[in-house]
Amino acid sequence: MPPPPPPPAPSVTDSPLTRGKIPDHLLRVSDLDPGVLPTLLDLADDMKREPLGWLDSLRGATVGCVFEKPSTRTRVSLATAAQRLGMAAIVLNRDELQLGHGETVADTARVLSSYLDAITVRTYEHSTVEEVAESSSVPVINALTNSHHPCQSLADLMALREHFGTLAGLRAAFIGDGKSNTCNSFLSACAASGMHLVIASPPGYETDADLLEEARQTADQTGGSVSVTTEPEEAVRDAQALYAEVWVAMDQHDQAAERTTHLARYRVDDLLLSQAPQDAMVLHCLPAVRGQEITSDILDGPRCLAWQQAANRLPTAQAVLHTLITTSQQRAG
């Protein structure tokens, strides 16, 4: 008996992705209209249930993955997601490109976009990915900058929605560096989803005031809220989800000693979790430093969603690539 035919690939006109404007690029979570975000997650749910159902949708297309920093989850999930859409993926390290030998970002983006159907970029300064987008004729997807990590936040929301059933009204606490890319993007994602987020950070690690204000304005529309504190115990008191974040990011090793000292009170361990509601779950974007920002007992225990978040990087990457590329192709006629 032949296998059942795959579900039809959604188009911009017949998909539910019409409740807001689909952006040309995904550089920050706030590029996604709050109406688009849940339908992108719906598509990711469908793709998780039927990973090969969209195998013919982008056959012949190619995504370039430019990585200036190490990556396990983002790089492999993007490349695999592309293959599951029938696409080819080319992973490019900076030193393999003329970019590493003096060619400008703008010239590189202009040329790459004449070959590729999408470009994903992991780099340092957020302005670099903005520069790529300005010169690219195809969608650019931020695979992490020092300021934002939107692909991670989509997987975080997907895991929370899978576990709790809904995002609106959910109470979350982010524990640690309020300036981190993970926190910045999770802040925007919570605000767009009508969630209530408390960020607990030590002095000197507070989230940027403009980002907070932007999130507060979004939360005013969605029914969510955003607040900050220096006290982790206060942040977790009513939280259904606690987000633990690495204390020393991959390019902060020269500050490891001072960051570890400043963030020592912001560990997610049994004591902190015991001060949260009994059904509270723990998030972590990985990679983790076991025993530092999170204990092994929690990371490997039944109240941790980190592995589900990591697994969800694949269907969310598939949904983002599919949505941005098909929209771009339709806009180009």
Residues engaged in binding ligand CP (CB under 6 A) = 71-74, 144, 152, 285-287
Q: Which is nearer to ligand CP, 152 or 316 (CB)?
A: 152
CB of 180 to ligand CP, least distance (A): 11
Exposure of 162 in the CB half-sphere (CA atoms within 13 A): 19
Residue 283 · residue 306 · CB < 8 Å: yes
SS3 200: strand
CB of 70 to ligand CP, least distance (A): 7
SS3 195: coil
For helices 126-135 and 105-115, give the axis angle rounded to 10 degrees: 50
CB of 80 to ligand CP, least distance (A): 13
CB of 190 to ligand CP, least distance (A): 17
174 bridge partner residues: 199, 243
Instruction: Give the helix/strand (H/E) hosting 171.
Output: strand 171-175
Q: Which is nearer to ligand CP, 76 or 111 (CB)?
A: 76
Instruction: Give the helix/strand (H/E) hosting 255.
Output: none
Residue 239 CA from chain centroid, whole number: 21
Q: Which is nearer to ligand CP, 172 or 285 (CB)?
A: 285
Q: Which is nearer to ligand CP, 72 or 274 (CB)?
A: 72
> Nearest 5°: phi and psi at 301?
-90, 175
Q: Which is nearer to ligand CP, 144 or 298 (CB)?
A: 144
Residue 127 · residue 149 · CB < 8 Å: no
Q: Which is nearer to ligand CP, 219 or 285 (CB)?
A: 285
CB of 174 to ligand CP, least distance (A): 15
Q: Which is nearer to ligand CP, 92 or 285 (CB)?
A: 285
SS3 88: strand
CB of 177 to ligand CP, least distance (A): 15
Region of 60 on the Ramachandran plot (φ > 0 left; ψ -120 to 50 alpha; else beta):
left
CB of 67 to ligand CP, least distance (A): 9
Q: Which is nearer to ligand CP, 219 or 242 (CB)?
A: 242
DSSP code per residue over 226-247: EEEES-HHHHHTT-SEEEE--S
CB of 207 to ligand CP, least distance (A): 19
Looking only at the bridges linking them, the beta strands covering 281-284 and 196-200 are unpaired
> In angstroms, rounded to a whole number, what is the distance separating the alpha carbons of residues 134 and 252?
28
